[in-house]
Amino acid sequence: MKRYKLPFKLGFYLIIIFLALNASAQGLKISGRIIDSANHEAVPNVTVYIGNSSISTAANKDGRYTLNNLMPGSYTLVTSCIGYAPEQVQVSLTKDEVVNINLNIQATELAEVNIKSNNYWGRNLGLFTTYFIGNSEYSSLCKIINEKALRLNFENRILSASTTDFLIIENKALGYRIKFLINNYTVDIAKRVFHYNGIAIFEDLQGSEKQKKNWAKLRQNVFKASFNGFLHSLARSKVTQDGFIVRRFLRYDNPDRPADSVLQKSIERLMTMKPSKAVTDSLANLSYTRALPKKIEQVIGKVLTAADLTKPSKEAGLTDLVFEDYIYVIYKKKRINFRDNLYRTREASDNQLSIIENKNIADPVQFNADGLKITKGALFFDGAWGDPSVSYMLPNNYLPDN
């Protein structure tokens, strides 16, 4: 066999290129030191998590930690340590960053006293559990372990919740132990509108090989039907093959229906008038007008492909999800057995449906080559993807095996 020797200069440059590519493949890192904010000494053995993921590391005896192999993007670091309150630190990662974190002693709160002083604690907890855990096929296997970490309030038909420490949830359907810091959580019961801000941390439950195999299968099913699964399909240009049907969607105010306040004033004015056929006819007309839909909704146009919905981002290696106003996303591989108040075409009659509004086209969701979401964007979800229940939650870094 003949052997060829590279010229020195060419060999040198190839080595440099190899090292550069290898360093790039390894990704970015966040490192730093954990410090007690009172005495400014290092705090050892603190666990540092990447929020909404299953990624974590432990600080050493000198309080130093490192998180490696990270993609560029926005991250929330979350700490966990006995005796100290959890801390959350936002990091925008474009290069290796040093992030030192100061911890504060955990204030001891008499949770029992707070619960006993609230005569409606049980009712509030029931409401919270209904919305937070949800009513999916997996909800019965989800359980809150430490309910006393919750602060709950119910006023004017609005339920609010927060935590000062991790709320622990065991999801025995998907095999996760979820540690949840709730900064703010509200549900308008009348309007069924959710708003929450919080950080979830995912740890695998211990189980038999059979359980782990079942968890892996269910996680994959949940992922494929999720918004992150949709991004994964877009990244691979397999939207239709993976079961998604996407079209443009119109939703706008009905020009033939005045606002409720205008209608009510007209009704009140007529009620003060002397009864007559004209008044009766006017009231009947107002009643008909009031029954008209407030919004006009319509699905239009062709089935959209990945090419219609994406474009290269300004940041190398990332893709933007791009569309104006709304898209209508049917997932044909999952049927539903309940009725909702969404506008449904015949095509979407009994399939999972999500309607996505893009509230700011200048702030798109960005995702990488695997479909992992890098930036949040400015999207608002109706339907399946608007359900924030914890029973469906997966780590943001989850990817299926195939």
Q: What is the three-class DSSP state of 257?
A: coil
**How far apart, in whole angstroms, are the C-alpha atoms of residue 70 and residue 364?**
21
Candidates 293, 225, 234; CA nearest to 260 is 293
98 forms beta bridges with 31
Contact 184, 162 (CB under 8 A): yes
Q: What is the pLDDT of residues 275-308, one digit of tens each?
A: 999 989 999 999 999 999 999 999 999 999 999 9
User: Within 10 Å of residue 241's Cβ, how many Cβ atoms?
Assistant: 9
Q: What is the mean pLDDT of the chain?
A: 89
| pLDDT for 108 | 64
Amino acid occupying residue 204:
D
Q: Which two tokens stand for residue 330?
A: 């049917």
Across the chain, how many H-helices and E-strands are there?
8, 23
Q: Could you tell me the pTM of the whole model?
A: 0.83
- What pLDDT is attached to residue 115? 54
CA dihedral 244, 248, 249, 250 (to 10 degrees): 180
Residues 72-82 have pLDDT tens digits of 888 999 999 99
Query: The domain 8-103: what is its CATH number?
Result: 2.60.40.1120
Phi/psi at 95 (nearest 5 deg)?
-150, 175
Note whether 365 and 373 are within 8 A (CB): yes
Residue-level pLDDT at 189: 86
Q: Which helix (H) or strand (E) holds 287?
A: helix 277-290
Domain segments of the chain: what residues?
A: 8-103, 111-206, 211-252+296-392, 255-292
